[in-house]
A and B are shown apart, each in its own frame.
Chain A
Amino acid sequence: MSDSRDGVPEAAADGEDATPDGGHAAAAPSTHTVRLELVDEPGQLLAALHPIADNGGNLLSIYHERGNKTPRGRIPVEVDFEATPEHFEDIVEALRNEGVNVMQAGTERYAEEVTLLLFGHLIDTDLSDTLSRIEACASASVADVSLAAPQGTEEVSSARLRLEARAGETEAALAAVRELANEKELRLVEPLTGVEA
């Protein structure tokens, strides 16, 4: 484990961090990259790095793209650090609590998975266009597609799509698919989200 918490009093705040260097069988730390968006003001970078160190992350590198601006006129910063999966979640949450905009958070970029069915004239209505338009929706990515066209390509066919959506954006992704299905007169079977039946 890291020694990055030296001199950070908050580190022991929630009990389970009390023995940070102990030999217990916690999940191994791995390297994560987060892309942050900072306001161009003094002290902003330091404010963004604190939540990482304070929550058990071991800073590896900081790439401060000062010459670049994001579409919102802010400065993109890429930060690499080591953390266990639990700490990684805490860090992303702490960053957001600090008001830092986390544009992309390593493996957490697409945190939520959602599976849905589409059926109708999928092929006549250009399935690859359907998929690329779902991809174009900022909140989701198409991870997997299975197609069944038992009556040939001109009849009704079905597809199962697995989408990966950013944390908290599943509903937005579903709304985008809903709108697209409506436009192409495809039927959509949505998952019952938020209900672990």
Chain B
Amino acid sequence: MRLAVIGAGAVGRSVVDLADEYGHEIVAVADSSTAVVADGADGGAVGVDPDAVVARKAERGIVGDHDPADALAADYDVLVEATPTTLDDAEPGFSHVTTALDRDRHAVLANKGPVAERFGDLRAAVDDSEGEVRFEATVGGAIPAISTVEDIEPGHVTAVRGVLNGTANFILTRMAAEGLDYDHVLAEAQDLGVAEADPSFDVDGTDAALKCVILANVLSFGAADDPADAREFTLDDADVDGIRDVPGSALRLAAEDGRTVRLIGEATGETVRVAPRLVPENGTLAVSGTQNIVQIETSHAGRLNISGRGAGGPETASAVLGDVGRLE
């Protein structure tokens, strides 16, 4: 498949880097201000040199000499949307995806915005297109959460829950293990690059909530006979509580009783909830460090647990490239 990668952060760069290994060709790459487009992209065979893109981005902060719009107009089969997640109108990611759909091309998202905030609009755009949209990378990084739900069929999945934010999980794990307070562990996480300078998105539960909203949309639309009857979820429908003010003393009291606290997200076709919850210390959901886990509750097949790396460039790119493979 010929890929146009929009967004040159950790995920976009990893997709560019790994595409060849998965048998795909990069025909365009764009970041927010520049782009590179393959020579003779409308029939030619000369793709973009991944190493050169990654090197230019690292050295000069640009991916090429073209305008980003040129990448959107390039001759690709699949547009990979890997720009940062934005809320509300989910722009510019949403328009990038619809640009591809309008041209009857596929889109694969790593950006949560369009599927969390405008799932209904996106469905409508897909209905009018020959192209399809896939978004495995938006939930749980490398963990195949969405395709597993699709395999089981959303109508036979009663709930999906889990630990969906590695930063919050790292902080809670370290607080419990070292008996330290939140601020101390957050500083450590920032030094290690596990937490961002502004950690609000992770520690306030927003990131986990977006993932749960996406799962709720998959369950709701997937189970409905007619998409018009499906309930659409956005972040506003989620009941969200973060971990910012959880004191070390609370984790110590939990540990004395064989329990610990994890930021747990839960999605059904009716509700989305993210909150710190008490779980058994050695239980399945008490994954450590930046690890994520997705637990799928089914009608006929019991409970499925899938744990793994919930973030990271190559991990998330593997989910993106898995989606690309499903579109072949």
The answer to whether A and B come from one shared complex is: yes
| Contact-residue bracket for chain B | 20 to 34
Comparing B21-29, B100-108, B230-238, B247-255, the segment that makes contact with chain A is B247-255
Residue in contact with A197 in the complex, picked from B245, B248, B275, B284, CB distance below 8 Å? B284
A197 touches B286 (CB 8 A): yes
Distance between B168 CB and nearest chain A CB, rounded to angstroms: 13
Q: Contacts A119-B247, A158-B247 hold; do A191 and B283 have CB atoms under 8 A apart?
A: no
B250 touches A190 (CB 8 A): no
- Which of B253, B254, B264, B276 has the most chain A CB atoms inside 10 A of its CB? B253
List A residues 70-86 near B (Cβ within 8 Å). none
A110 to B252, CA, bound (A): 27
Contact with B along A176-197 (1 / 0, CB 8 A): 0000000000010111100101
Residue in contact with A189 in the complex, picked from B249, B276, B286, CB distance below 8 Å? B276
A48 to B275, CA, bound (A): 44
Residue in contact with B246 in the complex, picked from A149, A150, A160, A189, CB distance below 8 Å? A189
A146 touches B253 (CB 8 A): yes
A64 to B177, CA, bound (A): 57
B284 touches A150 (CB 8 A): no
A157 touches B249 (CB 8 A): yes
Find chain B residues with CB under 8 A from A149 CB.
249
B259 touches A158 (CB 8 A): no
Q: Is the interface of B mostly helix, strand, loop or mixed?
A: mixed
Residue in contact with A160 in the complex, picked from B247, B254, B285, B286, CB distance below 8 Å? B254
B279 touches A190 (CB 8 A): no
Distance between A38 CB and nearest chain B CB, rounded to angstroms: 38
List A residues 152-187 near B (Cβ within 8 Å). 156-160, 187
Question: Is B278's beta carbon under 8 Å from chain A?
Answer: yes
B256 touches A189 (CB 8 A): no
Question: Is A116's beta carbon under 8 Å from chain B?
Answer: yes
Question: Is B178's beta carbon under 8 Å from chain A?
Answer: no
Question: Is B257's beta carbon under 8 Å from chain A?
Answer: yes
A158 to B248, CA, bound (A): 9
B261 touches A117 (CB 8 A): yes
Q: Name the residue on B nearest A192 (C-beta).
A: B277
Q: Contacts A117-B261, A189-B246, A189-B261 hold; do A197 and B253 have CB atoms under 8 A apart?
A: no
A150 to B284, CA, bound (A): 30
A150 to B254, CA, bound (A): 15
Residue in contact with B249 in the complex, picked from A115, A158, A187, A195, CB distance below 8 Å? A158
Question: Is A8's beta carbon under 8 Å from chain B?
Answer: no
Report A's interface with B, CB cutoff 8 A: 115-117, 119, 146, 148-150, 156-160, 187, 189-192, 195, 197
Question: What are 16 of the A-B contact pairs (CB < 8 Å)?
Answer: A115-B257, A115-B259, A117-B253, A119-B250, A148-B249, A157-B247, A158-B247, A158-B252, A187-B246, A190-B275, A191-B259, A191-B277, A192-B277, A195-B161, A195-B285, A197-B279
| 9 residue pairs, one from A and one from B, having the closest CB atoms | A197-B283, A148-B249, A158-B250, A160-B253, A158-B249, A191-B278, A197-B285, A197-B284, A192-B277
19 extra interface residue pairs, beta carbon distance < 8 Å, beyond A156-B249, A191-B259: A115-B278, A117-B250, A119-B245, A119-B247, A119-B249, A119-B250, A146-B257, A148-B250, A150-B248, A158-B252, A159-B253, A160-B256, A189-B246, A189-B250, A189-B254, A189-B275, A189-B276, A189-B277, A192-B278
Report B's interface with A, CB cutoff 8 A: 161, 245-250, 252-254, 256-257, 259, 261, 264, 275-280, 283-286, 295
